[in-house]
Amino acid sequence: MLPTPEKFTLVAGKSEGPTGLNAFDNALLAAGLGNLNLVRVSSILPPGAKYVDEVSIPAGSLTPTAYGALISEVPGETIAAAVAVGMSEDSFGVIMEYSGRCSGEEAEQKVVAMVENAFAQRQMPLKKTLVKSVEHKVESIGCVFAAVALWY
């Protein structure tokens, strides 16, 4: 079993690139996670995890990350990604992520509603919600990326 992360950070980035993978890599760099090895995880914030403004871990580190991302090759299209973290008073939290062909505001509304639903399903009181989003108008090949990085 891996150790339980003690810290979390919300990040978001957008970018263009000559290919979809380059656009994704550039969005990761813009979000501050481009030199890490992301391990995609589902959506539970560990109990007691503390919010930190910026990720500060060595390049190449395996980093548990819940994220939403979208690549588009449609010039002029608006794309967005958002993440939300819902926190309880004294237990674990819930992370929700979304990406779509919409505005950043619409993406934020969707992830906040998902967090509220997740807490209602668990019959847990929601103490606080943190949200981060990004919106991008595609020039050629664009990508949006929003994530919650969990680290030690």
pLDDT tens by residue, 113-152: 999 999 999 999 999 999 999 999 999 999 999 999 999 8
Token pair belonging to 100: 């779509």
Catalytic residue among 15, 26, 72, 97: 97
Q: Does residue 43 have an active-site annotation? A: yes
Amino acid (1-letter code) at residue 93: G
How far is 88 from 84, CA to CA, in rounded Å?
A: 13
Return the CATH number of the domain spanning residue range 7-151: 3.50.20.10
Q: Residue 26: in which H helix or E strand, if any?
A: helix 20-31
Question: Which stretches within 73-137 are classed as H helix?
Answer: 104-122
Q: What is the pLDDT of residue 96?
A: 98
Catalytic residue among 35, 37, 117, 140: 37
How far is 135 from 146, CA to CA, in rounded Å?
A: 10
Q: Is the pLDDT of residue 1 over 80?
A: no
Q: Does residue 140 have an active-site annotation? A: no
Catalytic residue among 15, 43, 99, 133: 43
Q: Does residue 42 have an active-site annotation? A: yes
How far is 149 from 151, CA to CA, in rounded Å?
A: 6
pTM of this structure: 0.96
Token pair belonging to 115: 């967090």
When pLDDT is cut at 50, 70 and 90, the band that residue 87 belongs to is very high
